[in-house]
Amino acid sequence: MLARMTPSRPLIDQAVTFLYADPPEPSWAFYENVLGLKLVQDQGSCRIYEAASEGRRAFIGVCRARAPRASDNPRVVGGVVFTFVTSDVDGWHAHLKAKGVALPAQPAMSKDYQVYHFFFQDPAGYTLEVQRFDRPDWKMP
């Protein structure tokens, strides 16, 4: 494999965010059947899904947890919020609502961050976000 370099460091070709659930089966069903993410690898106790449209190379892994979660607050040390970036925030809100996902609020504009977004949770309690950047300094692919 050829190492591609930028002037300051090697390139990062892909990213995988791993989430842990016990039991993982409800989360696997959620990511496959509700979000409709493509399963790209089943490792037995861990499944990896394509989190972005084909060719965009962002992944989310959902694995069997080895211990209980330390906190339900995603904004503490070790917490996580996984964000799906899309131009169709309202379409995703309608899709998830039709699938029966609990959505605590309508999509809204965050003036602080200049994003249009909403939050929801997966079956393991992870906070997920769907957002659109409305900032001139964010470049969509």
Dist CA 86 CA 96 (whole Å): 14
Which residue's structure tokens are 């370099």? 5
Strands (E), the chain: 15-21, 38-42, 46-50, 58-64, 81-85, 108-110, 115-121, 127-133
How many alpha carbons fall within 13 Å on the CB side of residue 71?
Answer: 9
pLDDT at 123: 93
Output phi, psi for 133, to 5 deg: -75, 130
Cis peptide before 74 (omega within 30 of 0): no
| Ordered structural domains, the chain, with CATH | 15-64+83-133 (3.10.180.10)
User: pTM of the entire structure?
Assistant: 0.80
> Could you tell me the strand order of the sheet in which 46-50 lies?
15-21, 58-64, 46-50, 38-42
Q: Please list the pLDDT of the chain residue by residue as tens digits (141 residues).
A: 555 555 688 677 778 898 999 899 999 999 999 999 999 999 999 999 998 877 667 899 888 888 777 777 777 766 788 999 898 999 999 999 999 999 999 999 999 889 999 999 999 988 999 999 898 888 776
